[in-house]
Structure 1
Amino acid sequence: MRLISINILKEGMVVGRTIWNEAGHPLLHKDVVVTSRIVERLQELKIQYLYIEDKFSSGIIVEETITPAKRLQAVKNITKSFNEVKKAKSTQASYVLDQQSKVISHIVDDIMNAVLDSEDVLMILTDAYLYDEYLYHHSFQVTMYSIATAKELGYSYDDLRLIGIGAMLHDVGKLLIPTEILNKPGKLTPEEFEVVKQHSRHGFDLLRNLHSVSLLVAHCAFQHHERSDGSGYPRGLIDFEIHPFAKIIAIADVFDALTSTRSYRKKMLPSEALKIIEEGRGIQFDERVFDAFKRSIVHYANGTVIQLNNGNRGIVSKQNLIDSTRPWLRIFEKNEDLLLATYEICLSDYPELEIVKIETDFVAFTE
């Protein structure tokens, strides 16, 4: 399979992975031959990337850490629980959340078990799913990223569970923000942004008095927008004042926001988002946490075409468990000429080689 931009999708290409809709039904099946109408429809839905099957990438396997079926069921349960809280009057919201806490804990347990059972770096394919409610999928993804990072940092099983619950509920305060502001297409006014920023305190207030949830979970909601240099909100805390769990969730939260399509901007690829966050390493974000996060996730997804500093092109064929920044590549082109026979290399074995470009728009002259 090969990851391509929607910009080069054309009739006759073969879909490599199923795309699912909000209800968990397949919108576009694997192995379907692309038509002009399919191209138009995917553009209307603002899909940016998808996988295709072609001769360059034959046999390259792309698998998520959690299967689509388990992911969709988890998001469905998150949606149901959060909607119960959303429907409640503000004075009853904490009580309803307390009632839903057991369901939320079970979801976190399932995610945690999947991450702990996986020996590979974490992979999430956000463009394999279409959804209207960003909050629910965001909560799922931030939980996965946070647990994977905490696992890399060596936290105990009990702490992993607390971090997972904190991540799942880090944005629960947004349920109390007016929908017209939260889902506004386009840039928020300064006044609207001040309203949105209140979600951290709303989340803390919802969670701090729950009998079923640790107070640490409430502080995850309260502090996930704080930054080590004091530039965050709501209290402008500095490094030692921010709880270690919140430092983990902060990075996971920003990374998922950058790698998700929103109404007001396009998504970034993982390696692009990491570069943005790395600019704040040791300034806004904890160095040790960022380094663990970086080791925990896929930088270049399987099937991604990349260009090397020697001019060769290759496709990421599998991940490198020792260094996720140096994956295995299937080299298929040298000096703009397609090879008659491809060959595989691991970038860790070639320190002189560097990835200089991701080419989701790559089109071979034979295509």
Structure 2
Amino acid sequence: MRFIPTFCLREGQILGKSLYNNYGGLILKEGSKIKGPYIKKIMELGFQGLYIIDDISQDIEIKNVISDELKLESIAKIKNMFMNIENKNPIDKDMNNISNIAKNMADELVSNKHLMVNMIDIKSYDNYTYYHSVNVAVLSIIVGISSHLNRDELYKLAMGALLHDVGKIFISHNILNKNDKLTNEEFEIIKSHSTTGYKYLKSNFDVPIKSYIAALDHHEKYDGTGYPKNKVGENISLFGRIIAIADVYDALISDRPYRKSILPANAIEYIMGGCDTHFDFNLVNLFIKKVAAYPIGTCVKLNNGLIGIVVENFSDASTRPKIRILNKNDGKPNYINLRDDFRNNNLTIIDVVNM
């Protein structure tokens, strides 16, 4: 199985991972043969890519860090809560649901703590907010586990991550989804979501203090140039520093109305480049050990011209995966392990190839 961008879809390809709509309903089942009308509809819905199974990827297994069932349930619960807040409906039950989701996510991820994140998420423009909230929670918990937080702390971190953008509910969709550059006034409105979300959670719910402080702090930067308080270094809450990394990473690899997504490797380069300015260096170091720069199933080009598909990643060398070479014609499977084979020290990945 491997991920391909939507523009690479072709009739006859086999879907490797089921596709769901904004409400968790099945659009296309795993194993389905992709037809022309399906491709058109998938593009209309704004999906940035799909998983397929083909000759070069049929033996590649990509493991989820949380189950599809829990992910879909989490997205549905977050969506229901956000819509009830927006429509001024009662939400006490929603908060109980979010609390249970946070605990279940922490439990599943603790049991899978040795897995790296090798998935590229399948989400459309319309369901970005809800997928983003869940993805940020997953990534944050993974960093929390690597930071040796206990179960109770992981639960509080998950709550903060799931709710970190709740303040955006109170901002006009015209501003949030604007295609053009924001005016200074509009940007100030966007920046208000951290404080608005913090005040809303603090005033309306029995949310752990660390959780709603995380919502306040997730746009603070390590060098003090963030907002809303211009906090510096470890004056920013630990949860805020963790969520800041997860938030930026997931946003970068997602299509947005005002820009296209970038590759995981480029997003990780951006995160690494922000060490000790935007982000906490020690937390970034934990993050890059758990999130693959080149997820399994990614087709890559090496600096010697060879093209291959990533079959294994390593937490101690996240940019040096094991690759199965595709463009050798001797009939035998050829593998290059960029981490372990010292004969290949001079080899590097120079590009991701869409095939």
| TM-score normalised to structure 1 length | 0.88
Higher deviation after alignment, 103-112 or 8-17: 8-17
Matched, 1:138 2:132: yes
Distance 1:124 1:302, change over 3 A: closer
- Aligned-pair CA distance for 1:77: 1.1
Partner of 1:281, secondary structure, is: coil
- 8 Å Cα contact 2:12-2:34 kept in structure 1: yes
Distance 1:186 1:207, change over 3 A: same
| 1:298-337 correspondence runs (5 A) | 298-334=292-328
Partner of 1:143, secondary structure, is: helix
Distance 1:320 1:339, change over 3 A: farther
| 1:210-221 correspondence runs (5 A) | 210=204, 212-221=206-215
- 8 Å Cα contact 1:145-1:252 kept in structure 2: yes
- 8 Å Cα contact 1:122-1:148 kept in structure 2: no
Equivalent pairs counted in the alignment come to 352
Higher deviation after alignment, 201-210 or 257-266: 201-210
- Aligned-pair CA distance for 1:303: 1.0
Q: CA RMSD in A?
A: 2.2
- Residue 92 of structure 1 is matched in structure 2 by none
Gaps of 5+ in 1: 90-95, 363-367
Q: What letter matches 1:343 in structure 2?
A: N
Cα deviation code 1:16-42 (max 9, x no counterpart)? 222221122222333333333333333
- Residue 2 of structure 1 is matched in structure 2 by 2
For 2:26 and 2:233, the matched residues in 1 are separated by 45
Higher deviation after alignment, 255-264 or 174-183: 174-183
Partner of 1:166, secondary structure, is: helix
- 8 Å Cα contact 2:12-2:35 kept in structure 1: yes
Higher deviation after alignment, 194-203 or 264-273: 264-273
Partner of 1:12, secondary structure, is: coil
**Identity fraction in percent:** 34
For 1:200 and 1:245, the matched residues in 2 are separated by 14
Q: What letter matches 2:332 in structure 1?
A: A
Distance 1:48 1:83, change over 3 A: closer
Gaps of 5+ in 2: none
Q: What letter matches 1:168 in structure 2?
A: L
Matched, 1:84 2:77: no
| 1:18-97 correspondence runs (5 A) | 18-88=18-88
The higher relative CO (CA closer than 8 Å, separation ≥ 6) is in 1
Q: What letter matches 2:311 in structure 1?
A: S
122, 125, 144: which one aligns with 2:120: 125
For 1:294 and 1:341, the matched residues in 2 are separated by 33
Higher deviation after alignment, 22-31 or 301-310: 22-31
- Residue 344 of structure 1 is matched in structure 2 by 335
- Aligned-pair CA distance for 1:205: 0.8
- 8 Å Cα contact 2:117-2:295 kept in structure 1: no
| TM-score normalised to structure 2 length | 0.91
- Residue 98 of structure 2 is matched in structure 1 by 104
For 2:15 and 2:330, the matched residues in 1 are separated by 24
Matched, 1:357 2:344: no
Q: Show structure 1 runs of 4+ deviating over 6 A.
A: none
218, 227, 231: which one aligns with 2:221: 227
